[in-house]
Homo-oligomer: A and B are copies of this chain.
Amino acid sequence: MTDYTKTKRTTLKRAHERGSYDRDAVHAILDEALICHVGFIHEGAPAVIPTAHWREGETLYIHGSSASRMIRALEDGAPACIEVTMTDGLVLARSGYHSSVNYRTVVVYGAARKITDEADKLAALKAFMEKIVPGRWDELRAPNSREMKATTVLAFPLKEVSAKIRDGGVLDDEEDMNDPVWAGVVPVHRAFGEPEPDAQLRGDIGLPDNLKNYTGPGSIPG
C-alpha cells in the first residue's frame, strides 16, 4: 500500500521526523481511539465537538443525531478537520523546555458524504458496534425505522491524512545531563474497569465472553 500523499497542510514543518503518512500507522491510531474531535466552521467561527468514530478501509465514520448542530454543519459537505489523539506518556526532561508528552495523533482533512442508502447505513452502524465490542451487534435487536431516521452517518474519505507520533524517552540538552533531577517517562494508558451490570439486568444473564478481560478496541487482549 502506498502512503497518503502529503499536502501543504499535512506536511509537518517542525519535528518532521515525527510525521507519518503510513496507512497502517494511521489506521492503528484511528482503530484504537474511542473518540475523535471534529472541527468545523459554524457561523464563521471554529467549533470542535468530540464524538465516537470508526473506520473501515479508507473511510472514517462518525454518527450523530440528525438534529445535531455538527451533523447539520457537515452533512452537506462543508470542510472538516477530524483529529484523534492517544496520550502515551509524560516526558519529564531535565528542563521544562524539553519536557513533553508522548502521543499518537491523526489529523484528517476532508468533507463528509452522508450515507443515505439504508443497507449501507446499517452496515456502517454494525461496523461501529463491532469496533467497540466484537460480536455484540448480533446480540442486540435490530434498529427500528424511527432510530434509523433519527441517526445520521457521515463518511469521510481518508485522503488528506497525517499521523504525528512522539515516543521514546527524554531528549535533554547535553549541558543539563548532570543536573540533580529525576528524568524519565511516566507511562499513560487507557484502562477499562470491571463491567458494571445494569441494576435491572435479567438475573439469568451473565457477563458475555466478549466483555471478559475487555481491553478496548485496537488493543491486544492481555
Interface residues of A (CB under 8 A from B): 9, 13-14, 34-35, 37-50, 52, 65, 67-69, 79-83, 85, 87, 90, 92, 94-97, 99, 101, 103, 105, 107, 109, 125, 128-129, 132-133, 136-137, 139-141, 143, 147, 150-151, 169-170, 172, 176-202, 205-208, 211, 214, 216
Contact = CB atoms under 8 A, between A and B. Distances in A.
Given A139-B181, A189-B191, 7 more contacts: A35-B87, A96-B147, A99-B132, A139-B182, A169-B196, A182-B201, A190-B191
A191 B92 CA distance: 17
Given A69-B13, A79-B46, A92-B136, A191 B191 contact: yes
Q: How many copies does the complex hold?
A: 2
A81 B177 contact: no
Contacts of A178: 202
> Interface majority SS on A: helix, strand, loop or mixed?
mixed
